[in-house]
Amino acid sequence: MGSKFWPKRGSPGILHHWTETLVTFEFTNGAKPKPHSILFIGGLGDGLATTSYVADVVTALQPTSWSLFTLNLSSSYQAWGFGHLDRDTDEIAQCINYIKEYKKEKYGQEGKFVLMGHSTGSQCVLHYLSKPNPHTSKPPFDRWLEHVKRPVVDGGIMQAPVSDREAIQWVISEGFMGKTPMELQETYDKLVAMAKEAVAKDISWDVPLPLSLTSQFGYGFSTPVSARRFLSLVSPESPKSPSEDDLFSSDLPDEHLAKTFGMVGQRGLLRYKLMVLMSGADQAVPSWVDKDKLMARWKAAANANSKTPVWDERSGQIPGASHALSNDDQAEPRRILCSKVLSYIADVEKL
């Protein structure tokens, strides 16, 4: 059954192949020329146009000069359990290059470009903007990975950035799917031990963990998760030694934030500012997290070593918004989100 938020008869657009096997879909609603582009990156389990509020953004963009693209990555849908952020952002860079070339051929100019991420897509945005360019890693489990130089983008938006580590801690503390906190803690400890043993034994291969165990935390009954990716998501050595995926936890020290948010201005991959929108009623954020305080720390880190502000002042909580703004009562949060996006891209267009 299709989402009630999407048009019943589908949405017009163009399907582009940016590699032989990976595609991006450009929504083409509206008659106005669209030289400018937003590339939308979904979260874990998302794929082509699977985040329902994209329909609202596409509608809001109709009278503008912007078109929105959604894409498939190697880690889309059920493949996220064997993915990693370096590959994701290398592929995103390839897609951006394709879109820029396409817009240049069509309109005689590349136009402005904004990268927008939802949930784990926000991790991709921050990873893209803050890491060395090109990436320097040589992951033995992904030995055919070829890093590419990531192109500069004009804008960056992160919606619903959440900590996977704190989310699973909350699941454990509250109980989940009929399992008690004690039962979930035992399963978690078992998974961490199994994952560490597998990684210590051989880092050259990704080893899947038992679905009967990982599914207890909402990872999906048919979604394989590798030992390496599991450890990256739950980051058992945090906050002292955070993993690659642990970017948004509330207990990360300022020294670590300086290496993530604090590097956005240093890398020079973002021409304008970074807008961060947290969902005010995000089901994946534990009740003990002070969202305003956390965002204030991110802002301080982002602006600390930059000559001009990196943090966009439109950033903040969207009141009443659920994680993906997909609940029945999300009309107003969706309106606020679209309003902020339109205001933001209007300023980007002036660059």
Q: Residue 50: is its pLDDT beyond 90?
A: yes
Residue 31 pLDDT class (50, 70, 90 cuts): confident
pLDDT confidence of residue 2? 40
DSSP, res 46: -
Span 198-232, pLDDT tens digits: 999 999 999 999 999 999 999 989 999 999 999 99
Task: Look at residue 327 in the predicted model and tell me its pLDDT.
Answer: 86
Domains and CATH numbers, the chain: 13-163+249-349 (3.40.50.1820), 166-234 (no CATH)
pTM surpassing 0.85? yes
pLDDT single digits (tens) 227-248: 999 999 999 999 999 999 999 9
The predicted structure's pLDDT at residue 110: 92
Q: Which of 31, 38, 2 is nearest to 125 (CA)?
A: 38
* pLDDT reported for residue 5: 64
Alpha-carbon Rg for the chain, nearest whole angstrom, is: 20
**Sorting pLDDT into bands at 50, 70 and 90, what band is 1?**
very low
Which among 90, 76, 94, 74 has a CA at the least distance from the CA of 18? 94
- The reported pLDDT for the residue numbered 6 is 62
Spatial separation of the C-alpha atoms in residues 89 and 75, rounded to whole Å: 11
Please report the pLDDT score of residue 296 as a whole number: 98
Helix (H) or strand (E) holding 28, with range, is none
| Interatomic CA distance for residues 166 and 294, integer angstroms | 13
State the pLDDT at residue 345.
98
- How many C-beta neighbours within 10 Å does residue 214 have? 22
Are 22 and 98 in contact by the 8 Å Cβ rule? The answer is: no
pLDDT recorded at residue 7: 64
Q: By the 8 A CB rule, do 318 and 276 touch?
A: no
DSSP-derived secondary structure letter, 210: P
* % of the chain at pLDDT higher than 70: 97
Of 161, 152, 138, 129, the residue nearest 259 (C-alpha)? 129
pLDDT tens-place string over residues 254-293 = 999 999 999 999 999 999 999 999 999 999 999 999 999 9
**Mean pLDDT, to the nearest integer, of 95-113?**
97
Average per-residue pLDDT in the chain? 95
Does position 312 have pLDDT exceeding 50, yes or no? yes
Helix H segments across the chain? 54-61, 85-107, 120-130, 164-174, 181-201, 211-214, 227-234, 254-257, 264-267, 291-304, 331-349
3-state DSSP assignment of residue 335: helix
pLDDT at 155 over 80: yes
